[in-house]
Structure 1
Amino acid sequence: MADRVPLVDYLVLSEDPRLVARECERCAARFFDRRNACASCGATTFRGVDIPRTGTLVTYTIVSVAPPGVAVPFVAAVVDCGGTAVRGNLVNVAPDPGRLTPGMELRLTTVSVGTDGAGTEAVGYGFEPA
């Protein structure tokens, strides 16, 4: 099997892929990017926490204009995963407002972003209907 690398460092590729947030040890605010200090309280210590793999659609937009090479239309969304807001694209669902409903159940999935000349696959994440 070819090597696989996550597109973002908070995506853990395993038999059961998952997202890991950085949680402030003082106020429990969660972030997916690297932080030197908490944007909510200023604390400087964090712990990694697994984010639930399922959630509900909070809001979305259908993107119809994107840079060259990015297929449109696609659905960009905010998903509530056990109280943590996660931004990601919806996959395996038509970009049609008639098929997208706030509150719909979703689950985390991985998507191939591409493979380089050495055979290493870049893997991202998205959410699909549960």
Structure 2
Amino acid sequence: MANQIPVVDYLVLDTAPHLRAHQCTSCDALFFDRRNACAHCGRTDFAQKALAATGTLRAYTQVHRAGPSVKVPYISAVVDLAGGGVVKANLLDAELSDIRPGLPVRLRTFVAGIDDDETEAVAFGFEIEDTQ
């Protein structure tokens, strides 16, 4: 396997890729970015929490304008993760007519680019889970 790095610090690449959040040890609020203090309660102690790779689609929109190297249209989504946490990511390989809030989704990683040393930059999105 090629050398891989995640495109964001909160994506964990292992045998079961998942997202990791900073969790306030006082009020359990979750944050993807590093914090000096909790935005909810003001405390300063955090622990790491592995988040579920599944969830439900809360909201979405179809995007038609982007930078020159970004293929449009694409679906930008907000996902409520099972067990807690909310993340914004793209919905992958989905037809607009098949999408509705409440659909079960699953995290999926993909290679977003490769550098001159053949290191793969790995990104994530969500795909609609097959419920049949």
TM-score norm. by structure 1 comes to 0.95
Give the deviation of 1:92 after TM superposition: 1.9
Measure, in 2, the Cα distance between the counterparts of 1:2 and 1:120.
7
TM-score norm. by structure 2 comes to 0.94
Give the deviation of 1:113 after TM superposition: 0.8
Give me the CA root mean square deviation.
Answer: 0.9
Give the deviation of 1:24 after TM superposition: 0.5
Q: Give yes or no for the alignment of 1:117 onto 2:116.
A: yes
Q: For 1:43, what is the secondary structure of its paired residue?
A: coil
Give the deviation of 1:129 after TM superposition: 0.9
Q: After TM superposition, where is structure 1 displaced by more than 3 Å over at least 4 residues in a row?
A: none
Give the deviation of 1:84 after TM superposition: 1.3
Q: Identify the residue that residue 61 of structure 1 maps to in structure 2.
A: 61
| Cα-to-partner distance string for 1:81-130 (whole Å, 9 max, x where unaligned) | 12311111111212x1x211100010011021100011000001110011
Q: For 2:67, what is the secondary structure of its paired residue?
A: coil
Q: Give yes or no for the alignment of 1:84 onto 2:85.
A: yes
Structure 1 residues 91-102: aligned runs within 5 Å: 91-94=92-95, 96=96, 98-102=97-101
Q: Give yes or no for the alignment of 1:20 onto 2:1.
A: no
Question: Aligned partner of 1:69: which letter?
Answer: S
Question: Aligned partner of 1:93: which letter?
Answer: A
Measure, in 2, the Cα distance between the counterparts of 1:84 and 1:11.
14
Measure, in 1, the Cα distance between the counterparts of 2:19 and 2:86.
12
Q: For 1:110, what is the secondary structure of its paired residue?
A: strand
Q: Give yes or no for the alignment of 1:75 onto 2:75.
A: yes
Unaligned runs of 5+ in 2: none
Q: For 2:87, what is the secondary structure of its paired residue?
A: strand
Q: Identify the residue that residue 5 of structure 1 maps to in structure 2.
A: 5
Unaligned runs of 5+ in 1: none
Aligned length: 128
Q: Identify the residue that residue 31 of structure 1 maps to in structure 2.
A: 31
Deviates more, 1:79-88 or 1:106-115: 79-88
